């Protein structure tokens, strides 16, 4: 037994499934997960001293690569002043100023501790603001493990075949209208039927927890119009896409402005963080100004703020996006060409530093089509790559990420291994 296997055996005795987040258990790709003892740049070092080129990037946050010196130094400086105050601190103001400056739709913002808290608080706020109860979400979109949003959800829920989690009372799920992504007619029909009750649409503007799905032309604009026409709040969950697909996320890329935005991952620079923000008249419904309650002992934590501010400042001062787009396109093109040569039906949707592998004859535009792709073929490629030093996400329904620490050498090495794995 190697070190990782030994650790996993110990973990399984004490932690359900041996992991603190289900996809990490490798259930859908087989085998036993490796344990990481350190990470630097675009590489992970396993407990068994294997080096892996990392395409998970801690599920998105590590856009600068792991253990970036600037972030490390910012955290060290903050650490010397205390780890948590339970009072407002200056870094929270700086973070708010940065987020309002960067994210087009954000006029006011509240910090929290995870993407799940950000989406959970966003829908509560939308309900409090509108006085309505129903939420529209889209099949395959994942908004963290919030009760009413774990319906036809992507990510680990989908990976493990439980897109509708147990433990959620039917009465909660009833408040969630689940519609197919990329189908505007169904949104219009839902508003025609229950418009008076619909508080919000919540959407990952580019769904990235069901593989990577891109919106058809006019789709996001159509969601915007449907909300505006019906007095509902449009919530973009940009936990994955924010600060990654351009500094202002999908809303900057597409010019479609939501009313509220859920954020996370990159804004913590690798520490636990979330935030939600948007229009002043909605945000001012939050306590202590308004009646919608939301709170957190560690919200605005000084270490997380320091890491996040350092991360955002680097993105502003030396934007990596053009280079990430080039690397992403190079990798996606290379994988497509390799599959074509071998006569393998493979779709590689890519935008900027995000991409995924869908083993399918035709492009994937929604949850049903993602489910119909060949997850076994992904499993084989995943295992072959892992055996040869390349770590792809351990699920056919997660998205791969590239960081600014990846270079052409790593991309070429990855292509070489993917070519060999595609057989």
Contact 97, 271 (CB under 8 A): no
Length of the chain counted residue by residue: 423
35 lines the binding site for ligand HOZ (CB under 6 A): no
155 lines the binding site for ligand HOZ (CB under 6 A): yes
DSSP structure string for 202-225: EE-SS--SSS---PPTTHHHHHHH
CB of 377 to ligand HOZ, least distance (A): 21
Stretch that binds ligand HOZ, among 20-28, 127-135, 332-340, 400-408 (CB under 6 A): 20-28
Helix (H) or strand (E) holding 332: helix 321-341
Alpha helix stretches (DSSP H) within 42-196: 69-79, 90-102, 115-130, 155-159, 170-173, 184-194
- Lateral strand order in the sheet of 400-401: 350-351, 354-355, 400-401
Mask for 45-74, x = binds ligand HOZ (CB under 6 A): --------------x---------------
Contact 421, 381 (CB under 8 A): yes
CB of 110 to ligand HOZ, least distance (A): 22
21 lines the binding site for ligand HOZ (CB under 6 A): yes
Helices 219-230 and 184-194 cross at an angle (nearest 10°) of: 10
Stretch that binds ligand HOZ, among 18-26, 41-49, 66-74, 160-168 (CB under 6 A): 18-26
Of 210 and 324, nearer to ligand HOZ (C-beta) is 210
24 lines the binding site for ligand HOZ (CB under 6 A): yes
Of 286 and 400, nearer to ligand HOZ (C-beta) is 400
Q: Could you say which of 142, 206, 219, 397 is catalytic?
A: 142
Of 67 and 216, nearer to ligand HOZ (C-beta) is 67
Of 199 and 203, nearer to ligand HOZ (C-beta) is 203
Closest CA to 277 of 95, 404, 144, 8: 95
Give the total of residues touching ligand HOZ (CB under 6 A).
8
Which 269-328 positions form the footprint of ligand HOZ (CB under 6 A)?
A: none
Annotated catalytic residue 108 = no
Report helix, strand and coil shares of the chain as percent, to nearest 5.
45, 15, 40
CB of 36 to ligand HOZ, least distance (A): 11
Contact 339, 315 (CB under 8 A): no
Of 65 and 128, nearer to ligand HOZ (C-beta) is 65
Contact 390, 418 (CB under 8 A): yes
Of 129 and 401, nearer to ligand HOZ (C-beta) is 401
Q: Could you say which of 134, 152, 265, 379 is catalytic?
A: 265
156 lines the binding site for ligand HOZ (CB under 6 A): yes
410 lines the binding site for ligand HOZ (CB under 6 A): no
Contact 184, 219 (CB under 8 A): yes
Closest CA to 258 of 47, 104, 61: 104
Annotated catalytic residue 237 = yes
113 lines the binding site for ligand HOZ (CB under 6 A): no
CB of 100 to ligand HOZ, least distance (A): 26
Contact 53, 414 (CB under 8 A): yes
Q: Could you say which of 55, 137, 181, 237 is catalytic?
A: 237
Residue nearest to ligand HOZ (CB): 21
Of 155 and 254, nearer to ligand HOZ (C-beta) is 155
Closest CA to 401 of 351, 347, 355, 332: 355
CB of 23 to ligand HOZ, least distance (A): 5
Which 190-249 positions form the footprint of ligand HOZ (CB under 6 A)?
A: 209
Of 142 and 219, nearer to ligand HOZ (C-beta) is 142
Alpha-carbon distance of 190 to 226, in angstroms, equals: 10
Following CA atoms 353, 356, 360, 366 in sequence, which dihedral angle do they give, to the nearest 10 degrees? Answer: -90
Annotated catalytic residue 37 = no
Mask for 352-381, x = binds ligand HOZ (CB under 6 A): ------------------------------
Name residue 44's beta-bridge partners: 39, 52
119 lines the binding site for ligand HOZ (CB under 6 A): no
Alpha-carbon distance of 391 to 399, in angstroms, equals: 12
Helix (H) or strand (E) holding 230: helix 219-230
Place of tokens 């990159």: 266
Stretch that binds ligand HOZ, among 19-27, 280-288, 290-298, 316-324 (CB under 6 A): 19-27
List residues with catalytic annotation: 142, 237, 265
Q: Which residues bind ligand HOZ (CB under 6 A)?
A: 21, 23-24, 59, 155-156, 209, 398
């Amino acid at each position: 037994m190697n070190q990782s296997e030994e650790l996993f055996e110990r973990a399984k005795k004490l932690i359900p499934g041996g992991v603190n987040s289900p996809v990490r258990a490798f259930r859908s790709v087989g085998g036993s997960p490796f344990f990481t003892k350190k990470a630097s740049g675009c590489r992970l070092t396993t407990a068994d001293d294997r080096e892996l080129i990392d395409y998970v990037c801690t599920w998105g946050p590590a856009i600068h690569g792991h253990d970036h010196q600037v972030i490390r130094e910012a955290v060290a400086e903050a650490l010397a002043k205390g780890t948590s105050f339970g009072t407002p601190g200056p870094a929270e103001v700086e973070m708010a100023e940065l987020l309002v400056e960067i994210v087009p739709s954000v006029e006011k913002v509240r910090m929290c501790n995870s993407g799940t808290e950000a989406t959970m608080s966003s829908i509560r706020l939308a309900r409090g603001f509108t006085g309505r109860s129903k939420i529209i979400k889209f099949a395959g979109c994942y908004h963290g493990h919030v009760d009413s949003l774990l319906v036809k959800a992507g990510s680990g829920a989908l990976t493990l075949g439980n897109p509708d989690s147990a433990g959620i009372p039917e009465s909660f799920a009833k408040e969630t209208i689940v519609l197919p992504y990329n189908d505007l007619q169904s949104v219009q029909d839902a508003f025609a039927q229950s418009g008076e009750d619909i508080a919000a649409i919540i959407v990952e503007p580019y769904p990235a927890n069901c593989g990577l799905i891109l919106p058809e032309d006019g789709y996001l604009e159509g969601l915007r119009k449907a909300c505006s026409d019906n007095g509902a709040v449009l919530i973009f969950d940009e936990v994955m896409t924010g600060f990654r697909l351009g500094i202002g996320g999908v809303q900057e890329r597409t010019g479609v402005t939501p009313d509220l935005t859920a954020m996370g991952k990159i804004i913590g620079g690798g520490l636990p963080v979330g935030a939600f923000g948007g229009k002043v008249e909605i945000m001012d419904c939050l306590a202590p100004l308004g009646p919608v309650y939301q709170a957190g002992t560690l919200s605005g934590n000084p270490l997380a703020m320091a890491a996040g501010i350092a991360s955002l400042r680097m993105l502003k001062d030396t934007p990596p996006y053009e280079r990430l787009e080039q690397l992403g396109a190079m990798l996606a093109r290379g994988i497509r060409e390799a599959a074509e040569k071998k006569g393998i039906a493979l779709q590689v949707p890519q935008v900027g530093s995000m991409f995924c592998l869908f083993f399918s004859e035709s492009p994937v535009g929604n949850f049903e089509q993602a489910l119909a792709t060949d997850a076994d073929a992904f499993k084989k490629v995943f295992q072959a790559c892992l055996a040869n030093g390349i770590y792809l996400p351990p699920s056919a329904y997660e998205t791969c990420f590239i960081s600014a620490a990846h270079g052409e050498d790593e991309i070429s090495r990855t292509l070489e291994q993917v070519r060999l794995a595609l057989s």
